[in-house]
Structure 1
């Protein structure tokens, strides 16, 4: 069945909104045809992942739209970059990456994108509403927007995201459609107490197991703590997206599309599958993400994947108050420029800096190598960091609770309860 184009789509394609939008629309039509889209819909915002430099093609693609005089048609933010250009002296990778990334960011800004350079755009004041259609890239942001905010975005990857921003239109496919958002997998989960895990480890492990066991399903969890915070759901979603490309999860009584189980499933039990996670499942996930030995030398503590929120900095300040990282142990916390500026000025967050933390902005430390010490382990309480860090950086990495991470950084040796 041929795709139905509305007048605005034809105007975009015919160049009524400029050559750049016409080129972007032509690419989106081909994209929609691949997925069998019947029509297009409008989106209210975009979040771009193609702003992270991967090579010359990253620059070539966006420069084409700049040369065509393009401007984004909806509010558009930028995801993390490949390097923190604010602190170039911390960068341990190829020096030319700094200038290449700066150019790529500048080209996106010429198109009207806002250089937020954060993987957590939902931590800004303006957030999409329930049911609002958006075109977001970055796996954890997609999971958070769909699951925690109840907004609607499909998985937009590099280049498709920018085309959506330049047109304000996307194919009506995937998780934009109500029928594709209904839970098809019911997951019974253990309580935090039953696992014996620290609460941050519980949510990281839950996401990791959920992602690995929910392939090709939209899962709905029963039994997740009713007081789960946004930061905890953020951690869960980031791990689920890393381990299994999960773009939407529901939690009964917690997330907006799961007031009840029937609400999450759309009152349908057709082909509904039920599984149960045991406490051992979650503990095994933690063990797999922490191969470190007790007493092993620690080179660094890395936090903020996804980017740390103000609430997380407040929790960290309470944990590290009156303490100091050991000599030779580097401490990095990744966050947005906005939140970093707040941390540097807020008196109640002074213990974070006094502990020895460096605030990395614009990027994440599992992407951008900043740890100078080449021997020793890296500890983190981020399941996403622990999943990607070893492969990206070729380092020994261990997932531990925040308290154990801080104790390990404080002593310079791996300390685990």
Structure 2
């Protein structure tokens, strides 16, 4: 079965819009042919994961597109890079090591991408709407767009997402299509109190459990309590995408494509039903911590995915109520637009005395920012706890936000 290109697609492929667009369409045509897609569809926006420097090949690819006159054809945001361009003093890399990472971020801007440098583009002005066809990279952004917003994107990796942006096209395949968005596997919360409290930890644990067991199937969650806000769904999706390959989940009565269980499955029966019990939740959360309670804490890392204004609204009162100057830094990863709004309002004034260190444009589990790697880093992020031991070699304690701040004050892991 051959991929059908429109006259506009063929014009791009033949170079009528320049060498970069021609290269992008040629790459997409071959890739989508391999997928078995029959046609392409228009996208309205893109989010690019490839501005995080992984080696010279990343820079070579984008430089070639820039040299070929490349420009994105739809509004295109950028995921985190390898540097905090706003706070360069935080980055513990030599100028030689920083140079290609900075050039890669700048090269994406030269293609017309918006320098958002956030893993949470849904927290910006470029948030898509329900049903919108988009091409997004970054695992947590993909699952949030599909699940919480109801926009439509596949899991686009480095280079392919940028080619979609340069052509404005994506395959009519996968999660872009109705038939592939129906639930396939059911996860039912069982044995919990009738008035189950929607804690952050619960949402993280459920995400880890469905991520580990779903494979590439679309999971449906029944019995999840109504979330406090969309940040809890963000945490669930980020954990699911870290522990597995989830690009879309449905939470019955919560997410937009699952008002009922029948709607979530499109009238079909689930292939499998898995019960999630309190014991399973406790075990999943226990596996996120590599140290016992009471262990010495040397840092707190929050904001993976990037902290929203609502999360800052929960954190700032906790910080101001805590005793300042305990010597445990509290790193908070956040988008530069969110940070600018906070600074303009004066909300962060004086919080450096309480150990606050805002980090923008990147994340502390992928960039050399932490001053101390010995001891324990505590986090409320399932994604940070999942990746940081392997990426940084640190010991991790996972806890709720208030436990993280109490631990910073005490200098040891505290449970409330």
Q: Which category describes the TM-score, using the shorter chain as reference length? A: over 0.9
Q: For residue 89 of structure 1, what is the aligned residue in structure 2?
A: 89
Query: What's the CA shift for 1:358?
Result: 0.8
Distance across 2 between alignment mates of 1:412 and 1:8: 61
- 1:8-407 mapped onto 2 (5 Å cutoff): 8-190=8-190, 199-269=199-269, 272-324=271-323, 327-350=326-349, 352-407=351-406
- Once residues 289 and 196 of structure 1 are traced to their aligned partners in structure 2, the CA distance between those partners, rounded to angstroms, is 22
SS at match of 1:41: strand
Task: After superposing the two structures, state which structure 1 stretch, 183-192 or 62-71, moved more.
Answer: 183-192
How far off its partner does 1:262 sit? Answer: 1.3
Distance (whole Å) between structure 2 residues aligned to residue 239 and residue 306 of structure 1: 10
Change (3 A) 1:266 1:198: closer
Question: Counterparts of 1:227 and 1:350 in 2: how far apart (Å)?
Answer: 30
CA deviation vs aligned residue, 1:303-347 (integer Å, no higher than 9, x gap): 000000000000011222231355331110000111112222334
Distance 1:194 1:381, change over 3 A: farther
Deviations 1:346-397 (A, max 9, x none): 3455475442211100001111121112321000000000000000000101
Shift of 1:4: 1.2
CA contact (8 A) 1:195 1:283 kept: no
CA contact (8 A) 1:48 1:162 kept: yes
- 2:93–2:368 Cα contact (<8 Å) kept: yes
Give the Cα–Cα distance (whole angstroms) in 1 for the partners of residues 107 and 348 of structure 2. Answer: 35
Residue 98 (structure 1) shift: 2.1
CA distance in 1 between partners of 2:194 and 2:348 (Å): 33
Are the counterparts in 2 of residues 321 and 351 from structure 1 also a CA contact under 8 Å? no
- 1:31-78 Cα offsets, whole Å, 9 max, x none, are 001111111111110100011111111110000111111111111110
Give 3-state SS (helix, strand or coil) of 2:301's partner. strand
Q: Secondary structure at the match of 1:276?
A: strand
- Give the unaligned 5+ runs of structure 2: none
Offset of residue 19 of structure 1: 1.5
Instruction: Report Cα offsets for 1:119-146 as digits up to 9, x if no partner.
Output: 0000013321111110000000000000
Structure-2 change in CA distance of 1:165 and 1:234 (3 Å): same
* 1:90-116 deviation line (CA, Å, top 9, x unaligned): 112444232212111111111101110
Q: Please say which of residues 174-183 and 368-377 is displaced more in the overlay.
A: 368-377
Instruction: Return the alpha-carbon distance in structure 2 between the equivalents of residues 172 and 198 of structure 1.
Output: 37
Any idea what SS the aligned residue of 1:17 has? Answer: coil
> 1:251, 1:361 → 2: CA distance?
31
Tell me, yes or no, if the aligned pair for 2:191 and 2:277 is still in contact at 8 Å.
no
What TM-score, normalized to structure 2? Answer: 0.96
- Structure 2 counterpart SS, 1:266: coil
Give the direction of change, closer, same or farther, for the CA distance of 1:169–1:116 in structure 2 (3 Å limit): same
SS of corresponding position for 2:315 = helix
- 1:198 is displaced (CA, Å) by 7.6
Query: Partner of 2:377: helix, strand, or coil?
Result: strand
RMSD over aligned Cα atoms? 1.8
For structure 1, list consecutive stretches of 5 or more residues without a partner in the other structure: none
Deviation at 1:80, TM superposition (A): 0.1
The normalised TM-score by structure 1 is 0.96
Quick one: distance in 1 between partners of 2:164 and 2:408? 43
Return the offset for 1:297: 1.1
Structure 1 pair 346–321 and aligned structure 2 pair: CA distance change class (3 A): same
In structure 2, distance between residues paired with 1:383 and 1:117 = 21
The offset of 1:183, in angstroms, is 0.1
**Conserved? CA contact 1:192–1:202, under 8 Å:** no
